[in-house]
Every structure is written in C-alpha cells, then in structure tokens.
Amino acid sequence: MPKNAPIPAEFWNGVDPDVAEFERGLLESIDQMNRGEFGRVTTPSEIMARRVGRPVGSFKAAPKVPTTIRLSPEVSAAFRATGNGWQSRIDAALKEWLKANSGNMKTAQHSI
C-alpha cells in the first residue's frame, strides 16, 4: 500500500467504532500536518522572541475605572441576585440615569 493511500474499510472491521473514529481522525491529523495544513511548527527561539504581555490592540480604548461604592443592602442584594454581571448592570443603570438627568446635574446633586 502506498504511503499516503487511504486505509481500506476492511481494515476497521472488528474494531470498536469509537476507537476506529478516533484513529481515523488521528491519521487525518497526521496527514494534514505532513501537508503543512492547519498548523505551524514553532522553534524554541521563536517562542523566546515573543513579547511578554497582552498582544497589541487587545485592550479596550476606554477601560472601566476601578472604584469603591457603598450601596444600600437592598440595592446590593437585588443586583447580586441577578447573577454574574451584576456590576455591569449597575454600571448600565448609572449610565441610563446620567442620560436621563444630564441637563439637571446641579439640581440632581441637591436632591440626593
């Protein structure tokens, strides 16, 4: 049988179907590697030459600012009860409030 010839179907007779499927996939992956598809060999010197840290452009232009805020227990419990992302939902609620009250900032400060 030539080196890159497909394996005949009879070869897989009597082999567990899951194992046969795994082996077919493995052999196909090896063939793809030999043809230079879907992958690239990286040498140790190329790995060492990589820059440390995040790739350029992988961060937001305007990241959020870490801060500490005191909330009433019922507000905190209500937002936390909504699950993961509750802090982002508080941020969205505050942004919505700012849009609605941007013209009234001076009177809004006194009403709080």
76-104 pLDDT per residue, tens: 999 999 999 999 999 999 999 999 988 77
Which range, of 4-13, 25-34, 43-52, 69-78, averages the lowest pLDDT? 4-13
User: Residue 62 corresponds to which amino acid?
Assistant: A
Name the band, by pLDDT with cuts 50, 70 and 90, for residue 110. Answer: low
Provide the whole-model pTM. Answer: 0.42
The pLDDT score that the predictor gives to residue 108 is 53
Q: Which residues of 66-100 are buried (b: 16+ CB within 10 A; e: fewer)?
A: eeeeeeeeeeeeebeeeeeeeeeebeeeeeeeeee
Cβ neighbors of 32 (< 8 A, separation 6 or more) are 38, 39
Residue 112 confidence (pLDDT) above 60: no
Question: How many Å apart are CA 51 and CA 84, to the nearest integer?
Answer: 33
Give me the mean pLDDT over the 16-21 stretch: 84
Residues 39-83: tens digit of each pLDDT: 666 778 887 887 777 777 767 777 788 899 999 999 999 999 999
- Residue 50: strand, helix, or coil: coil
Question: How far is the C-alpha of 80 from the C-alpha of 68, rounded, in Å?
Answer: 16
Exposure string over 8-20, b if 16+ CB within 10 A, otherwise e: eeeeeeeeeeeeb
**CA separation for the pair 27, 6 (Å, rounded):** 10
- CA dist 109 and 102 (Å) reads 11
